[in-house]
Amino acid sequence: MQIYLVGGAVRDELLGLEIKDRDWVVVGATPDDMLKQGYKQVGADFPVFLHPGSREEYALARTERKQGRGYHGFEVYSAPDVTLEDDLKRRDLTINAMARDEQGLIVDPFNGQQDLEARVLRHVSEAFAEDPLRILRTARFAARFQPQGFRVCNQTMALMRTMVAEGEVDHLVAERVWQEIQRALEEHEPRAFFEVLRDTGALAILIPELVPDQAFTAAMTALHCVHQQDGSIEERFAALISPLPDHQSGPRIQALKAPNDCKNLALLVAAVLPALTRSGEQKAPALSADELYAVLDTADLWRRPERFSLLLNVLACILEPADQEIVHTLQRAANSASGVEPKALMAQGFTGRVLGEAIRQERLRRIQQAITS
């Protein structure tokens, strides 16, 4: 049997980047050969094994053929006669379809090295069209490597447009889409991901509300701002969704199946934004103590102070420069109101609903004091 390093590790090594995980392809072996050598089989669908020492993944060379629509229809063929080139041919992009043998020699039947040098993301073969997830992966690699000058080549853009037009993206399951969106939000240039999706037509299916220029620009500006502050995934997602009007963001966030932390922050931003940017008014309104209290209460500052600071970070990235004062005001209101100690009021004999009302009154009083001082 021969063993080759493949995929991302070869690509990153040639780019001089740090290698995160190594994937290997084994040619000329059967599952039995692997088990005899102490590898452990993982996953029932594919002949993939874990090395007993390094725990790295070793996959038997395989070919894949699409059967029907959707993500589930792949027929996998793996046997000792499948060659390295067969295996590389099923991969998405030429820069991901290189291998390195045990002597260090690069095997590159699809000219990945040339594309690396030319900074081009190009599909390996027409079989690319068999898996719509590759559109998202390609967009994500654009987001990762754009700072180094990479772009998706015209032929690949055209192929992806055809795939979208043929309805391929409609068959992606939400979990896979979310996984790619989340990873893209953490790449160097998330904007490039959404541009590729928009330009192929995939964005119109996945997050159609962001297709209009104004919404797209607002989302990208907010995202860039959060990104520059090294914001968390929750903040990034909330920034992305922030241009959607209140009534659209809920269903969209639901459809994207974002995990709860992401979902809740994005919903919170949608819930408080209307009060901070009253429509029709040029400048945001000065909020009364009651209105400030309502925002703090909606955000459940009392029990979720960490999430409240994430909210403020996102708001600072969404609001116009002229409206930034609101963020400071909210911060001051929060600092004052969160100093109210229920215990102190209980010691004064308040209980039940009366206690709740006393807490509210004291918080309001402090907010009032904070905004007038």
- Which residues of the chain form contacts with Mg ion (CB under 5 A)? 8, 21
Tell me how far, at minimum, the Cβ of 127 lies from ligand ATP, in Å.
9
The CA distance from 363 to 289, in Å, is: 9
**Is residue 131 at the binding interface for ligand ATP, with CB under 6 A as the rule?**
yes
Residue count, binding to ligand ATP (CB under 6 A): 12
Tell me how far, at minimum, the Cβ of 8 lies from ligand ATP, in Å.
2
Site for ligand ATP (CB under 6 A): which residue of 26, 34, 107, 133? 133
Site for ligand ATP (CB under 6 A): which residue of 100, 134, 198, 227? 134
Question: In this structure, what token pair is assigned to residue 342?
Answer: 């229920």
Site for ligand ATP (CB under 6 A): which residue of 5, 7, 110, 236? 7
* Burial tier of 104 (Cβ tally within 10 Å: 0-12, 13-18, 19+): exposed
Tell me how far, at minimum, the Cβ of 255 lies from ligand ATP, in Å.
22
State the virtual CA torsion across 177, 178, 182, 188 in degrees, nearest 10. Answer: 20
Tell me how far, at minimum, the Cβ of 122 lies from Mg ion, in Å.
19
From the CA atom positions of the chain, what is the Rg in Å?
26
**8-state DSSP, 28:** S
Q: Are 295 and 328 in contact (CB under 8 A)?
A: no
Among residues 233, 226, 194, 186, the alpha carbon closest in space to that of 213 is found at: 194
Site for ligand ATP (CB under 6 A): which residue of 8, 47, 112, 132? 8
**Is residue 96 at the binding interface for ligand ATP, with CB under 6 A as the rule?**
yes
CA 59 to chain centre: 27
Among residues 122, 116, 32, the alpha carbon closest in space to that of 80 is found at: 32
Give the nearer residue to Mg ion in terms of CB position, either 21 or 290.
Answer: 21
Give the nearer residue to Mg ion in terms of CB position, either 58 or 308.
Answer: 58
Q: CB under 5 to 8 A by kind: which of Mg ion, ligand ATP, none does 91 bind?
A: ligand ATP
Which segment (132-140, 198-206, 256-264, 290-298) binds ligand ATP by CB under 6 A?
132-140
Beta strands (DSSP E) in the chain are 2-6, 23-27, 40-42, 48-50, 57-60, 62-66, 74-78, 99-100, 106-107, 120-121, 151-152
Give the nearer residue to Mg ion in terms of CB position, either 139 or 334.
Answer: 139
**Is residue 189 at the binding interface for ligand ATP, with CB under 6 A as the rule?**
no
Give the nearer residue to ligand ATP in terms of CB position, either 94 or 242.
Answer: 94
First vs last Cα of the chain: how many Å apart?
Answer: 78
Q: Are 132 and 165 in contact (CB under 8 A)?
A: no
Q: CB under 5 to 8 A by kind: which of ligand ATP, Mg ion, none does 247 bind?
A: none
Q: CB under 5 to 8 A by kind: which of Mg ion, ligand ATP, none does 134 bind?
A: ligand ATP
What are the φ and ψ backbone dihedral angles of 76, each rounded to 5 degrees?
A: -100, 135
Site for ligand ATP (CB under 6 A): which residue of 1, 3, 15, 23? 23
Q: Are 287 and 278 in contact (CB under 8 A)?
A: no
Tell me how far, at minimum, the Cβ of 131 lies from ligand ATP, in Å.
5
Tell me how far, at minimum, the Cβ of 110 lies from ligand ATP, in Å.
11
Residue with nearest beta carbon to ligand ATP: 8
CB atoms within 10 A of CB 175: 9
**Is residue 92 at the binding interface for ligand ATP, with CB under 6 A as the rule?**
yes
Q: CB under 5 to 8 A by kind: which of ligand ATP, Mg ion, none does 133 bind?
A: ligand ATP
CA 256 vs CA 177, 199, 263: distances in Å: 8, 20, 9
Which residues sit at the interface with ligand ATP, rule CB under 6 A?
Answer: 7-8, 20, 23, 91-92, 96-97, 131, 133-134, 137
